[in-house]
Structure formats: C-alpha cells, structure tokens
Amino acid sequence: MKKLTIATCQHDVCGEIKVNLYAIRNLMKRAGLQGADIIHFPETSLSGYAGVDFPLIRKKDNEQLQVALSNICELAGHLRLWVIIGSHHFEEGIKKPFNSLYVINDRGKIAHRYDKRLLTNYGDELDVNHYMPGKEPVVFNLNGIKCGLLICHEWRYPELYREYYKKKAKVIFQSWYDGNHSKSEYEKSGKYLGELIPGTVRGNAANNHMWISGSNTSRKESNFPAFIIRPDGRIHNKLKRNKQGVLISRIDVEQEYYDPSRPWRDRVMKGIYTSGKMQS
C-alpha cells in the first residue's frame, strides 16, 4: 500500500515576511505533532502576493526571504517533515522573480522548485507585471508516490492536469492566493469563484483519477477554504473559510475509487474519440 499523510494548510498570507514565517512555523509544528508526512502551504505563503499585499516586489527583500526560507528548512529537518512553501524566487540577470513553490524534504534540503507557468493577464489580475513565467512541470517522489505541483490560475487549464497524468502523478499539490477581498468583492464575484474553482478542480481530479490537495490563503474574505479531493471527484475533507488551520488527510493512492473514464481515457488521449471501431 502506498499511503501518505498530508497536512493542507491555510493562513492569513500578508506582505510581512516575519508575520508569515511565524504562522508557517506554528502550522508546521501542529502538522508534525499529528504525524504528517508533508505540509502544503498557499501561493506566496512566505513572501506575500505582489500587487495585492504590496505594490511592487523589492529585490532587497530577497535577503530576508532567504533567511526565512533557511529557517523553514531547519525546522523541516528537525520535524522530519516535507514542506511545500510558496515564495518569490530571484535569479541573476532576470528583472522579475518567479512565483514559486519550494519542495523541502524531511532532511531540511530544498529538493525541487516549481515556477508558476500561466500567469494572470486579464482585468485587474496582472501577474505578468510582477513575475516571470516558469516553463516546466515538476514531479517528485514521496513514500513511493509520484506528486506534481500547480499554482492558482493554472486551474483553468485541464491540459496541465493531463500532463501530470501522463507523468503518472497520483497526487497534485495546488496552491492558491484567492482571498484578501472586501465583503462586497466577495459577494460580487468571490462567492461565485468559490464554487467554480473547487468544482472545476474536482472535475480535473475525477477526469484524471488523482488526489488533489488545494491550499489557499485564509485572509478575509477568502473565496474558498483548503480542501482535499479524491480521485472520484468527491471532496474528502475541507477547512472552514477565513480561518487559519491544518487539514490532516491520510490517503492511500492504491485504494479503488469510481473511475468510469478508465476504459477510454488513454485511448482518447491518443486522439481516438470513439469507444469502438468506425462503422462503414
């Protein structure tokens, strides 16, 4: 049996690195006490979100981010806990940073980094003003289970989930920053997105028969709470919206779930859009 204990978290992500770090450390300790193998945090959970929590990314904040990231790595090693943390990643010669998820292993080492590939570029949501787009998917192994990573806006592209299916990923960790809205903004559009986003993600879980851990900021008003979705598209569990917390889920990727797409999924992915031979 291939089992995994996931701690899917939400906290009030803000523009103060020290405040975010304090919340992250506390949640890591709670997850460790509950026997988690891995803890999963929201998009930009350490750095805060550019254009929302602060107007511009300052490169001088990179030093503070690196110190905070090292602090998280040290605690991860002490707790023997894998960590997925959202932050900015700066590279030499590049004007804008990446919007990234770091994967820290249970020895406290950064094992992988995923950079958000599809940035928002519509209406008031303009990630492209602040970040560079990534280029590659990331798959990593945990307890013999292949896992993939996605960030926020990428929920709108079913091709990305299919891509991970082709790579035989059984669990997707997807981080959001879908909150920090006024009550009027939430009533106008946030409530609708709070139904649309988890609903679409549930469809992608069922269509590709994979587990999906969804982490989101809890800063009021958040559009939806952190959740875990089963391979049949059902919600396994979720937290309460707007409230910091840890959602512990013990999953077995070899457990059988309803999967009516199984007979034809791979056939359709080859471009054969019929369940039988063409009749003359």
Domain ranges of the chain: 3-269
DSSP 116-146: --S--EETTEEGGGT-B------EEEETTEE
pLDDT tens profile 161-202:
999 999 999 999 999 999 999 999 999 999 999 999 999 999
User: Residue 25 corresponds to which tokens in the numbers above?
Assistant: 């450390």
Asked if CATH classification 3.30.1450.10 holds for the domain at 3-269, the reply, yes or no, is no
pLDDT tens profile 11-30:
999 999 999 999 999 999 99
Taking alpha carbons only, the member of 72, 70, 58 closest to residue 26 is 72
pLDDT of 69 above 60: yes
